[in-house]
Amino acid sequence: GQNIDQPTEMTATEGAIVQINCTYQTSGFNGLFWYQQHAGEAPTFLSYNVLDGLEEKGRFSSFLSRSKGYSYLLLKELQMKDSASYLCAVSPGLTGGGNKLTFGTGTQLKVEL
Amino acid sequence: DGGITQSPKYLFRKEGQNVTLSCEQNLNHDAMYWYRQDPGQGLRLIYYSQIVNDFQKGDIAEGYSVSREKKESFPLTVTSAQKNPTAFYLCASSIDNTRGGEAFFGQGTRLTVV
């Protein structure tokens, strides 16, 4: 089966750094995705990790440990527009049915002044 | 510009009616997906298609049907058998269903039963 856990809500201050964690247990693994979703809008792609380590892309970084079934999304220099839901999703790969993603429930991040 | 388009953005359905949600992409993607999103829950997979004229049930396919007659199009029908259809529906596509390609999402259709 597939199980993905992430915190429901987080609050952080503008200009600060926040780390959103995601743990997963899946029948197969072909990569982990992070998406950002503003209320009522489509999710937009942030990052993809398939190998262990840190992937950096501007203010956003994502880390993966396959042995621990763990990932985090790191957001630096927070801005008010970063207030959104952050979705962790796992691709099970061929053993689990191709690239159909399994999503966590999302972490609602609120950035305050 | 390439992208994935869903229509309509808002849809109201009377109980007992079937409704069809449109999803079109011009990204030349082979794989397409339909997800349902409810408040406080993650996206749940309804149906997916890896190639034209082929599709597979996802985790919550009951009460839904799809077709994939063209590569660009993957319409979803919400039938009267779906007991709780009010939700936000998202269509997505990706290059290939076997590799870790990112999924691109449409803007969603918010369906409300009245």
Task: State pLDDT tens for residues B42-69.
Answer: 899 999 998 899 999 999 999 999 999 9
The answer to whether the CB atoms of B103 and A4 lie below 8 A apart is: no
User: pLDDT at residue B99 above 50?
Assistant: yes
- Per-residue pLDDT, A7: 97
Nearest CA in chain A to B103: A45
Nearest CA in chain A to B96: A99
- Per-residue pLDDT, A32: 93
Both tokens of A98, joined, read 């191709």
- With a cut of 50, list the residues of chain A below it in pLDDT: 96-97
B82 in reach of chain A (CB within 8 A): no
- The mean per-residue pLDDT over the stretch B68-95 comes to 94
Beta bridge partners of A50: none
For residue B97, give the nearest of A33, A45, A99 by CB distance.
Answer: A99
Rounded Cα gap, residues A63 and A97, in angstroms? 24
Rounded Cα gap, residues A84 and A82, in angstroms? 6
Residue A109, classified by CB atoms within 10 Å of its CB into exposed (0-12), middle (13-18) or buried (19+), is: buried
- Per-residue pLDDT, A94: 60
